[in-house]
Amino acid sequence: MQEIVTFSKEGNIGLIVVNNPPVNALSQAVRQGIKTGVEKGIADKDILAMIIICEGRTFIAGADIREFGKPMIEPFLPAIVQYIEDSPKPMIAAIHGTALGGGLEIALGCHFRIAAPTAKVGLPEVKLGILPGAGGTQRLPRLVGPQAALDMIVSGNPIAAQKAQTIGIIDEIADGDLKAAALTFAKKVISEKRPIKKISSLAAKVDNPAMFEEYAKSIARKQRGFLAPFQCIKAVQAAVELPFAEGMKREREIFVELQASPQSKAQRHVFFAEREVARIPGLPADQQTREIKSVGVLGAGTMGGGIAMCFVNAGIPVVLLEVKQEFLDKGLGIIRKNYANTVAKGSLQQDVMDKRMSLIKPTLSYDDLKNVDLVIEAVFEDMAVKKEVFAKLDAVCKPGTIFASNTSYLNIDDIAAMTKRPEDVMGMHFFSPANVMRLLENVRGAKTSPEVYATAMKVGKKINKVPVLVGVCDGFVGNRMLAKRSCECGFMLEEGALPQQIDKVIYNFGFPMGPYAMSDMAGLDIGWRNRKAKFDKLSPREKANNILDKICELGRYGQKTGAGFYKYDDKRNATPDPVIEELIIKHSREVGKTRRVITDQEIIERAIYSMINEGAKILEEGIAARPLDIDIVWIYGYGFPVYLGGPMFYADQVGLKKIYEAILKYKDIVGAQYWEPSPLLAKLAKAGKGFYSK
C-alpha cells in the first residue's frame, strides 16, 4: 500500500510529499506523516532545507471530514504546525490548488511559501460555525496585519495567489512547474542564508484601538444571528493584545466553545447535507445520464430570463422562446442590464458578458427548439397554458429531449400526460431570482425515468445550483410547507396579531424577512392570483380569511405600488400603516373573532411547528426521501437560518416531544383540520427520538 506521506531527498533538500486523495485532507495519518518527515529532515545532517508539497489536484484542502464529530487522535494539528515552525532548518510550503483551513495553517507554520499562479488560500472554518484552531487566528494577523486577517477569517472566503502575495502570505509565485520552482526557491534560501521567518515571533499591531469594535459593527447586519464570525474577531483581537502562547490558548478556548455550540452542529449538518442531497437513495452511482449541450427556455420574463442566465453562465447555449417580439426584446434587455451591472461593479469582464449574451438565441418559433437536449418551460402559472405548451413541445422536439416545467406547485403528472413521452417529463423548479438563488427543486413524476432525473441533478450542479430531488404533490416540498406557515400567520392576524409583529418575530428567528414584508416585495398581486386559482380547494375558514383580497382590492400590491401590508417611501422603506391595522381589526369583527394578545412564542410555534409537522407528512408520503432534503430546500430556497440547520434538524434540537405537545395544544385551539399531528412525528416523539435519530 502506498504511503500517504513520503520523505525523499533532492540533493541537500528534503521533500515531504502528501498524497491523500482526493483533497489531501489532514487525516491522522497525514499529520503523523508530516511530523515524521520533518523529524527525518532535521535528523539528516545533509539536509539544509525542506519542502512540503502535495500530489494530485490540490495542496492540503483542510481537515478530514471523516473525522468530524469524533475524538481527535494525536498528533494534534496545533502541535504539528508548531513543530514545523520550530524546525531549525528552513521549511517551505509549495502550494497549488487550494490551501484551506488546516492546510493554510500548515503553510503558515512554514518559514516560506511559494504558490502556483492559480492557487487559492483561505480559512473557511467560520462556515462550519468554528474558527481556525491551529494558530490561524494568531499567525495570520501577525503576518498580514489584523485588518486583512479579519477579512479572510470572518468571511471564510479564499483569496487568489496574487492577492495572497500582495498582502504577504505568499513569498513567490511559481513560474512553470511548481516542484522545480520550489526546489530553485529552496536553493536560493540556502545559498543566500536567508534567516528563518517564524510568524509567531512577529507582532500584530493596530493603529486604531477601536478597530475590532468597528469591524463587529460593520458585519452586524450581514452576519446577524451567527455566533462564529464575532468570536473570530475576538480571537484575532487576542493576537494583537496577548503574547503568542497566550493568544493560542485563547484561540483554543474559543474553538472548543464554538465546536460544542448548537450553531456549529447545525452548520456542520448543513455542510454534510448539501453534499449528501445529490446522492439519490436507490439510484446507482454509475446511473447513466444524458448529455446536455443546448437548452431551450420558454418565456423571457423574470424567471425565464434568470434561467437562461444560469445556463449561459455555465457555457451552455440557450434558445429563448417568446410569443411576441416585444416580450423577447424586453427580456433580453433585462438580461443585458443584469450583466452590465455586474460588469460595472467589476465582478465580470466585458468580454465574458459579450460571450454569454452571444450564447442566447432569441426566437418566436417552436421549430427552433427541435434540436435542444433540455427544454424548460417558464410560462404563466396556469395548467391550461402549461398543457398547451407541452403538447407543442412534444410535436417539435427530437426524441430524448428532456421536458421540464418550472412550475412551483402544479401537478407534473398532469402536464406529462399531454405528451407521448411522460418518462422524459419532470419539474425543474427554480427560485426567484433564478440567476441568484441556489436551490433547484427537481420534481420527478410518476413516470419520469431515472436517467432523466439523474440528468437534471447533474445539470443542476453544473449550473452551480444545489439540486434536491422531490416527488409530486401540491407545492412539492418548499411551497407545501410554506402554505401551512402562511395559513397560520393569516389566522393569527384574525385572532390578534398584526403584520409587523409576525414579521419581527420571524425576522428575529433568523429569516431574512418576515412573511408580510416578503409578500410586499414579491408583489401581493402574485399571492392574490394564486389564492384565486386555488380558492375552490380552500377550507371555509381560509376562504373567509380574505384580508389579502381586501388589501389588493384597494390597489395595494406592495412595494411596486408604494403600499401593501405596509406603506413605503420613495426609497422603499416600510412603515406600519394604520389603514391596514384598522382593516384587520374590522375583519376580525366580521368573522366573529375576539382579538387577544398573541405572544411571540405562539407565533414561533404556529409558524414554524406547522411547517415541521407538514415536513413529517412529506417524509411519510415519500415526497422527500430524507429529512436532509427538506432542510436543504428550506435553507437554499427560503432563507431558513443556516445556524439552525433547517426545519427538521431544528425540530430535533427543540425536541419532537415538545413540538408534538404544542401541535396537540393548537389542535384544540385552531382545529384538527389544520393541526392533525403527523403519525411519523407522533411516533418519534413518543419514542423519544428525532428525525435524524430514528
What is each CA distance from 169 to 54, 118, 121, 623, in whole angstroms?
18, 15, 9, 49
DSSP tag of 297? E
Q: How far apart are CA 219 and CA 599, in angstroms?
A: 30
Q: How far apart are CA 18 and CA 4, in angstroms?
A: 6
Asked about 125 being catalytic, the answer comes back as yes
What SS3 state is found at 522?
helix
Q: How far apart are CA 76 and CA 67, in angstroms?
A: 12
DSSP tag of 561? G
What are the residues facing 427 on neighbouring strands?
A: 405, 443
DSSP string, 214-241: HHHHHHTTTTTT-SHHHHHHHHHHHHHH
Residue in 85, 125, 377, 381 annotated catalytic: 125
Q: Enumerate residues 6+ apart whose C-beta is below 8 A from 212.
A: 146, 206, 233, 234, 236, 237
225: left (phi over 0), alpha (psi -120 to 50) or beta: left
473: closest CA among 408, 376, 538?
Answer: 408
* Helix residue ranges, H only, 242-358: 244-259, 262-276, 302-313, 325-344, 350-358
What is each CA distance from 524 to 540, 548, 554, in whole angstroms?
22, 8, 11
Q: Enumerate residues 6+ apart whose C-beta is below 8 A from 598.
A: 492, 495, 496, 497, 501
Q: How far apart are CA 498 and CA 493, in angstroms?
A: 6
Asked about 388 being catalytic, the answer comes back as no
Q: How far apart are CA 131 and CA 253, in angstroms?
A: 11
Residue in 85, 105, 381, 602 annotated catalytic: 105
E strands in 108-203 = 112-115, 120-122, 159-160, 172-173
376: left (phi over 0), alpha (psi -120 to 50) or beta: beta
* Helix residue ranges, H only, 420-510: 450-462, 478-495, 499-509
Q: What does the angle CA 613 – CA 618 – CA 623 come to, to the nearest 5 degrees?
A: 170
- Active-site positions read 105, 125
